[in-house]
Amino acid sequence: MQSRIKPDRQLSVRMGVTIFFLGLLYLVFAAALVVLLKSVVLIVVILGALLFAQYWYSDRIALAALKGHIVTPEEYPQLHAVLDRLCSLADMPKPKVAVADLDVPNAFATGRNADHAVVCVTTGILGLLDEKELEGVLAHELTHVAHRDVAVITIASFLGVVAGLMMRFTLYSQVFGRRNQNTAMVIMAIMVVSTAVYAISFVLIRALSRYRELAADRDGAILTGQPSQLASALVKLSDSAARIPHRDLRSVQAFNAFFISPVGGGRLAGLFSTHPKLERRLDQLARITEQLGRPV
Protein backbone atom coordinates (compact mmCIF):
# COMPACT_ATOMS: atom_id res chain seq x y z
CA MET A 1 0.00 0.00 0.00
CA GLN A 2 1.40 3.39 -1.06
CA SER A 3 0.95 6.04 1.59
CA ARG A 4 -0.26 9.51 0.71
CA ILE A 5 2.45 10.93 2.94
CA LYS A 6 5.13 11.93 0.45
CA PRO A 7 8.69 10.69 0.91
CA ASP A 8 11.14 13.26 2.22
CA ARG A 9 14.25 13.14 0.05
CA GLN A 10 16.37 15.12 2.47
CA LEU A 11 15.39 12.80 5.30
CA SER A 12 16.18 9.75 3.14
CA VAL A 13 19.61 11.15 2.32
CA ARG A 14 20.30 11.97 5.96
CA MET A 15 19.22 8.49 7.03
CA GLY A 16 21.45 6.92 4.39
CA VAL A 17 24.46 9.00 5.41
CA THR A 18 23.89 8.28 9.10
CA ILE A 19 23.60 4.53 8.55
CA PHE A 20 26.70 4.56 6.29
CA PHE A 21 28.93 6.31 8.81
CA LEU A 22 27.53 4.33 11.72
CA GLY A 23 28.14 1.16 9.70
CA LEU A 24 31.79 2.11 9.26
CA LEU A 25 31.98 2.97 12.92
CA TYR A 26 30.37 -0.37 13.75
CA LEU A 27 33.02 -2.26 11.75
CA VAL A 28 35.84 -0.30 13.39
CA PHE A 29 34.33 -0.94 16.81
CA ALA A 30 33.95 -4.67 16.12
CA ALA A 31 37.50 -4.90 14.77
CA ALA A 32 38.87 -3.10 17.82
CA LEU A 33 37.04 -5.48 20.14
CA VAL A 34 38.36 -8.48 18.19
CA VAL A 35 41.94 -7.20 18.49
CA LEU A 36 41.58 -6.41 22.18
CA LEU A 37 39.64 -9.50 23.23
CA LYS A 38 41.22 -11.86 20.68
CA SER A 39 37.96 -13.67 19.92
CA VAL A 40 36.35 -13.19 16.50
CA VAL A 41 33.53 -15.69 17.06
CA LEU A 42 32.55 -14.25 20.44
CA ILE A 43 32.38 -10.66 19.18
CA VAL A 44 30.48 -11.58 15.99
CA VAL A 45 27.94 -13.69 17.89
CA ILE A 46 27.35 -11.10 20.63
CA LEU A 47 27.10 -8.07 18.34
CA GLY A 48 25.05 -9.97 15.76
CA ALA A 49 22.61 -11.23 18.38
CA LEU A 50 22.21 -7.77 19.89
CA LEU A 51 21.63 -6.14 16.50
CA PHE A 52 19.09 -8.81 15.54
CA ALA A 53 17.22 -8.36 18.81
CA GLN A 54 17.33 -4.56 18.59
CA TYR A 55 15.87 -4.57 15.07
CA TRP A 56 13.46 -7.51 15.19
CA TYR A 57 12.08 -6.92 18.66
CA SER A 58 12.43 -3.13 18.92
CA ASP A 59 8.70 -2.62 19.47
CA ARG A 60 8.53 -5.17 22.29
CA ILE A 61 11.69 -3.87 23.92
CA ALA A 62 10.45 -0.27 23.88
CA LEU A 63 7.00 -1.16 25.19
CA ALA A 64 8.42 -3.34 27.96
CA ALA A 65 10.87 -0.64 29.03
CA LEU A 66 8.14 2.02 29.16
CA LYS A 67 5.43 -0.13 30.74
CA GLY A 68 3.37 -0.11 27.56
CA HIS A 69 0.79 -2.63 26.41
CA ILE A 70 -1.31 -3.11 23.28
CA VAL A 71 -4.89 -1.88 23.73
CA THR A 72 -8.10 -2.79 21.91
CA PRO A 73 -10.80 -0.49 20.48
CA GLU A 74 -13.05 -1.57 23.34
CA GLU A 75 -10.51 -0.36 25.91
CA TYR A 76 -9.66 2.97 24.22
CA PRO A 77 -12.35 3.73 21.61
CA GLN A 78 -11.45 7.41 21.17
CA LEU A 79 -7.77 6.68 20.63
CA HIS A 80 -8.52 4.02 18.03
CA ALA A 81 -11.13 6.19 16.31
CA VAL A 82 -8.65 9.04 15.82
CA LEU A 83 -6.00 6.68 14.49
CA ASP A 84 -8.51 4.97 12.16
CA ARG A 85 -9.41 8.35 10.69
CA LEU A 86 -5.78 9.35 10.19
CA CYS A 87 -4.81 6.03 8.60
CA SER A 88 -7.71 6.42 6.17
CA LEU A 89 -6.50 9.93 5.27
CA ALA A 90 -2.91 8.74 4.88
CA ASP A 91 -3.94 5.55 3.02
CA MET A 92 -1.63 3.40 5.11
CA PRO A 93 -2.08 0.29 7.29
CA LYS A 94 -3.12 0.93 10.84
CA PRO A 95 -0.33 0.26 13.33
CA LYS A 96 -0.93 -1.44 16.64
CA VAL A 97 -2.07 0.92 19.36
CA ALA A 98 -0.45 0.89 22.78
CA VAL A 99 -0.72 2.83 26.01
CA ALA A 100 2.14 3.25 28.49
CA ASP A 101 1.23 3.64 32.14
CA LEU A 102 3.34 6.76 32.68
CA ASP A 103 2.50 10.17 34.10
CA VAL A 104 5.05 11.73 31.74
CA PRO A 105 2.94 13.05 28.83
CA ASN A 106 4.43 11.85 25.55
CA ALA A 107 4.06 9.60 22.51
CA PHE A 108 6.29 7.60 20.21
CA ALA A 109 6.24 5.16 17.30
CA THR A 110 8.31 2.01 17.07
CA GLY A 111 8.61 -1.12 14.93
CA ARG A 112 10.75 -2.29 12.04
CA ASN A 113 8.30 -1.30 9.24
CA ALA A 114 4.77 -0.09 8.54
CA ASP A 115 3.34 -3.60 8.82
CA HIS A 116 4.93 -4.14 12.24
CA ALA A 117 4.59 -0.66 13.71
CA VAL A 118 3.24 0.41 17.06
CA VAL A 119 2.05 3.89 18.03
CA CYS A 120 2.16 4.35 21.77
CA VAL A 121 0.84 7.16 23.95
CA THR A 122 1.25 7.57 27.69
CA THR A 123 -1.62 7.90 30.13
CA GLY A 124 -0.15 11.31 30.94
CA ILE A 125 -0.69 12.66 27.43
CA LEU A 126 -4.24 11.28 27.28
CA GLY A 127 -5.09 13.32 30.35
CA LEU A 128 -3.37 16.45 29.04
CA LEU A 129 -4.50 16.90 25.43
CA ASP A 130 -7.94 17.31 23.90
CA GLU A 131 -9.03 15.19 20.93
CA LYS A 132 -7.83 17.65 18.26
CA GLU A 133 -4.40 18.03 19.86
CA LEU A 134 -4.14 14.25 20.22
CA GLU A 135 -4.95 13.94 16.52
CA GLY A 136 -2.03 16.24 15.73
CA VAL A 137 0.31 14.12 17.84
CA LEU A 138 -0.86 10.84 16.30
CA ALA A 139 -0.49 12.28 12.79
CA HIS A 140 3.10 13.20 13.70
CA GLU A 141 3.76 9.61 14.82
CA LEU A 142 2.13 8.10 11.73
CA THR A 143 4.44 10.23 9.62
CA HIS A 144 7.44 8.66 11.36
CA VAL A 145 6.09 5.26 10.34
CA ALA A 146 5.48 6.37 6.73
CA HIS A 147 8.98 7.87 6.47
CA ARG A 148 10.45 4.59 7.82
CA ASP A 149 12.72 6.58 10.08
CA VAL A 150 11.59 4.54 13.09
CA ALA A 151 13.58 1.50 11.95
CA VAL A 152 16.56 3.67 11.01
CA ILE A 153 16.70 5.45 14.36
CA THR A 154 16.38 2.05 16.06
CA ILE A 155 19.33 0.63 14.13
CA ALA A 156 21.29 3.85 14.56
CA SER A 157 20.74 3.72 18.31
CA PHE A 158 22.05 0.16 18.47
CA LEU A 159 25.73 1.08 18.26
CA GLY A 160 25.43 3.66 21.01
CA VAL A 161 23.63 1.12 23.20
CA VAL A 162 26.37 -1.48 22.71
CA ALA A 163 29.14 1.05 23.30
CA GLY A 164 27.38 2.22 26.45
CA LEU A 165 27.08 -1.36 27.70
CA MET A 166 30.77 -1.93 26.99
CA MET A 167 31.66 1.22 28.91
CA ARG A 168 29.71 0.01 31.94
CA PHE A 169 31.11 -3.51 31.71
CA THR A 170 34.71 -2.35 31.53
CA LEU A 171 34.14 0.15 34.32
CA TYR A 172 32.76 -2.55 36.61
CA SER A 173 35.57 -4.90 35.60
CA GLN A 174 38.14 -2.25 36.47
CA VAL A 175 36.54 -1.57 39.84
CA PHE A 176 35.75 -5.12 40.92
CA GLY A 177 38.10 -7.25 38.81
CA ARG A 178 41.45 -8.69 39.75
CA ARG A 179 44.50 -6.46 39.47
CA ASN A 180 46.62 -7.54 36.51
CA GLN A 181 48.65 -5.15 34.38
CA ASN A 182 47.83 -6.73 31.00
CA THR A 183 44.14 -7.09 31.86
CA ALA A 184 44.02 -3.52 33.10
CA MET A 185 45.53 -2.25 29.83
CA VAL A 186 43.00 -4.18 27.74
CA ILE A 187 40.13 -2.92 29.88
CA MET A 188 41.39 0.65 29.59
CA ALA A 189 41.72 0.33 25.80
CA ILE A 190 38.16 -1.03 25.50
CA MET A 191 36.96 1.84 27.67
CA VAL A 192 38.64 4.42 25.42
CA VAL A 193 37.33 2.85 22.19
CA SER A 194 33.81 2.45 23.60
CA THR A 195 33.75 6.05 24.81
CA ALA A 196 34.86 7.35 21.41
CA VAL A 197 32.27 5.22 19.58
CA TYR A 198 29.52 6.30 21.96
CA ALA A 199 30.41 9.99 21.53
CA ILE A 200 30.42 9.83 17.71
CA SER A 201 27.18 7.83 17.50
CA PHE A 202 25.64 10.20 20.05
CA VAL A 203 26.22 13.21 17.78
CA LEU A 204 25.16 11.44 14.54
CA ILE A 205 21.92 10.12 16.04
CA ARG A 206 20.93 13.49 17.44
CA ALA A 207 21.57 15.26 14.15
CA LEU A 208 19.25 12.77 12.41
CA SER A 209 16.69 12.93 15.22
CA ARG A 210 16.35 16.72 15.03
CA TYR A 211 15.63 16.68 11.31
CA ARG A 212 13.21 13.75 11.44
CA GLU A 213 11.15 15.57 14.09
CA LEU A 214 10.82 18.62 11.83
CA ALA A 215 9.85 16.37 8.90
CA ALA A 216 7.20 14.59 11.00
CA ASP A 217 5.85 17.93 12.28
CA ARG A 218 5.51 19.21 8.72
CA ASP A 219 3.91 16.17 7.11
CA GLY A 220 1.75 15.40 10.15
CA ALA A 221 0.37 18.95 10.04
CA ILE A 222 -0.26 18.69 6.30
CA LEU A 223 -2.06 15.36 6.81
CA THR A 224 -4.57 16.83 9.27
CA GLY A 225 -4.70 20.22 7.58
CA GLN A 226 -4.61 21.79 11.05
CA PRO A 227 -1.02 22.71 12.06
CA SER A 228 -2.37 24.63 15.06
CA GLN A 229 -3.49 21.33 16.63
CA LEU A 230 0.08 20.05 16.77
CA ALA A 231 1.44 23.46 17.79
CA SER A 232 -0.93 23.60 20.75
CA ALA A 233 0.02 20.04 21.75
CA LEU A 234 3.76 20.80 21.59
CA VAL A 235 3.35 23.86 23.80
CA LYS A 236 1.38 21.87 26.38
CA LEU A 237 3.93 19.05 26.34
CA SER A 238 6.81 21.49 26.76
CA ASP A 239 5.10 23.30 29.63
CA SER A 240 4.16 20.08 31.40
CA ALA A 241 7.75 18.77 31.32
CA ALA A 242 8.77 21.40 33.87
CA ARG A 243 6.20 20.04 36.34
CA ILE A 244 7.19 16.37 36.10
CA PRO A 245 9.36 15.07 38.99
CA HIS A 246 13.01 14.62 37.98
CA ARG A 247 12.87 10.99 39.09
CA ASP A 248 10.14 10.23 36.53
CA LEU A 249 11.96 12.16 33.81
CA ARG A 250 15.20 10.27 34.37
CA SER A 251 13.40 6.94 34.06
CA VAL A 252 12.37 7.67 30.44
CA GLN A 253 15.13 10.02 29.28
CA ALA A 254 16.95 7.23 27.43
CA PHE A 255 14.04 7.19 24.94
CA ASN A 256 14.24 10.90 24.12
CA ALA A 257 15.11 10.31 20.46
CA PHE A 258 11.83 8.39 20.02
CA PHE A 259 9.48 10.79 21.84
CA ILE A 260 7.57 13.59 20.14
CA SER A 261 8.68 16.02 22.84
CA PRO A 262 11.96 15.86 24.79
CA VAL A 263 11.93 15.03 28.48
CA GLY A 264 14.72 16.16 30.76
CA GLY A 265 17.82 17.87 29.41
CA GLY A 266 15.58 20.31 27.60
CA ARG A 267 18.06 23.11 28.05
CA LEU A 268 20.71 21.37 26.01
CA ALA A 269 21.07 22.77 22.52
CA GLY A 270 22.99 22.22 19.33
CA LEU A 271 24.78 18.89 18.91
CA PHE A 272 23.44 17.48 22.18
CA SER A 273 19.70 17.91 21.57
CA THR A 274 17.47 15.14 20.21
CA HIS A 275 14.83 17.68 19.14
CA PRO A 276 14.85 21.08 17.46
CA LYS A 277 13.98 24.02 19.68
CA LEU A 278 10.28 24.49 20.34
CA GLU A 279 10.41 27.95 18.74
CA ARG A 280 11.71 26.48 15.49
CA ARG A 281 8.99 23.84 15.43
CA LEU A 282 6.28 26.42 16.08
CA ASP A 283 7.70 28.74 13.39
CA GLN A 284 7.55 25.92 10.84
CA LEU A 285 3.96 25.11 11.79
CA ALA A 286 3.04 28.80 11.50
CA ARG A 287 4.47 28.89 7.97
CA ILE A 288 2.50 25.76 7.03
CA THR A 289 -0.66 27.41 8.36
CA GLU A 290 -0.04 30.38 6.04
CA GLN A 291 0.65 28.10 3.08
CA LEU A 292 -2.50 26.05 3.65
CA GLY A 293 -4.52 29.23 3.97
CA ARG A 294 -3.42 30.64 0.62
CA PRO A 295 -5.90 30.32 -2.27
CA VAL A 296 -4.90 27.79 -4.90
For residue 268, give the nearest of 219, 209, 227 by alpha carbon. Answer: 209
Give dist(CA 192, CA 294) in Å, integer.
Answer: 55
Separation CA 132–CA 108 (nearest Å):
17
Question: How far is 205 from 22, CA to CA, in rounded Å?
Answer: 9
State yes or no: is 133 an active-site residue: no
Q: Which of 74, 75, 135, 141 is catalytic?
A: 141
Of 133, 187, 163, whose CA–CA distance to 50 is shortest?
Answer: 163
Q: How many CA atoms lie within 13 A of 239 on its CB side?
A: 8
Which amino acids are annotated catalytic?
141
